[in-house]
Amino acid sequence: MADRQLHDGHGRRISDLRVSVTDRCNFRCQYCMPAEGLDWLDREEILTFEEITRLVSIFAGMGIEDLRLTGGEPLVRKQFPDLLGMLAAVEGISDLSLTTNGYLLGRDAAALVSAGIQRVNVSIDSLQRDRFFQMTRRDALPRVLDGLEALAAHPEVDPIKVNAVAIRDFTEDEVGRFCEFARSTRYQVRFIEFMPLDGDRSWVPESVLAGEQLRKMVAAIHPIEELPREPSATARVFRFTDGRGEIGFINPVSEPFCSDCNRIRLTAEGKLRTCLFSMSETDLREPLRSGADDAEIDGIIREAVWRKELKHRVNEPGFQQPPRTMSAIGG
């Protein structure tokens, strides 16, 4: 199967696919979308469960092994655990994970586990109820934490990661609480630098709280030691030296990890994006619905991936924020 593996024009093997199952979300996070929300895609524009499964099967035939389901908020998609079960059965997919805001985890945790979920990332930007509301524009922290506990009751889901977007003049006050959260639970807390993908278009470089600064803040509270980085990993992961938990830093702005990026993305309406910051997309829905066979779609994918960007260029003069926000791309 080596000759069937998917590579880009820079020699990187592509093995990780992020699939957005919906652009809809029940939160309005400041770093993602405007307070009033966005215009949602019409139902007929969204890929069906069968279409998603067929595309994932084609990707798996090219060597895609890791599949992450995102949104929007994936759990607002009706009968989402059914889709999860369909994808868990795809030959070649060895790692099936989910990114969620956690609001519906209490309802769905058992069904997700039964369907075959292996790893889950839950977005929590503050452990203080009022500040959580400030960031997400939803008074939902207790419900999210309850959902997290419901998921943690299933030890087969491992790891469970808690992601916090790091924004200057906000996240500094959260560091101590997140340290204790990581040390008192089995969750790995990860800080993600604020990226220029917000709906309000308010991102400026000065709003980024760099991972190195956060690392020093954490180390001043509890000593930490870095763990070896896995190939193509997005996070630098550290362990508290007394063995009580882990904490990670994802630094796409200050320390880009483009050189060994192995990720591509599929939007909810079937557009292939080869970089989170791509300015162009490749439509897979149209050929899918027009009767193209698997070999034809395979060829379209390979041609698009061959043109995958070398890097995102966020720190370079002339950088342009992509038209889509994070919620419309899929995280």
Domain that holds residue 23: 2-329
Residue 193 near residue 187, CB atoms below 8 Å: no
Distance CA 71, CA 19 (A): 8
- Give me the pLDDT at residue 37, please: 83
- Give me the pLDDT at residue 19, please: 98
Q: How far is CA 62 from CA 50, 69, 172, in A?
A: 19, 19, 43
Domains in the chain, number = 1
- Give me the pLDDT at residue 234, please: 92
Q: What pairing do the DSSP bridges indicate for beta strands 224-226 and 235-240?
A: antiparallel
Q: What pairing do the DSSP bridges indicate for beta strands 95-100 and 119-123?
A: parallel
Distance CA 301, CA 14 (A): 11
Cα-only R_g, the chain: 19
pLDDT tens digits in sequence order for the chain, 331 residues long: 446 899 999 999 999 999 999 999 999 998 888 888 888 999 999 999 999 999 999 999 999 999 999 999 999 999 999 999 999 999 999 999 999 999 999 999 999 999 999 999 999 999 999 999 999 999 999 999 999 999 999 999 999 999 999 999 999 999 999 999 999 999 999 999 998 887 778 889 899 999 999 999 999 999 999 999 988 899 999 999 999 999 999 999 999 889 999 999 999 999 999 999 899 999 999 999 999 999 999 999 999 999 999 999 888 887 888 888 888 888 6
| CATH number, position 33 | 3.20.20.70
- Give me the pLDDT at residue 198, please: 78
Q: How far is CA 184 from CA 54, 65, 180, 287, in A?
A: 41, 32, 6, 50
- Give me the pLDDT at residue 20, please: 97
Q: What pairing do the DSSP bridges indicate for beta strands 160-166 and 119-123?
A: parallel
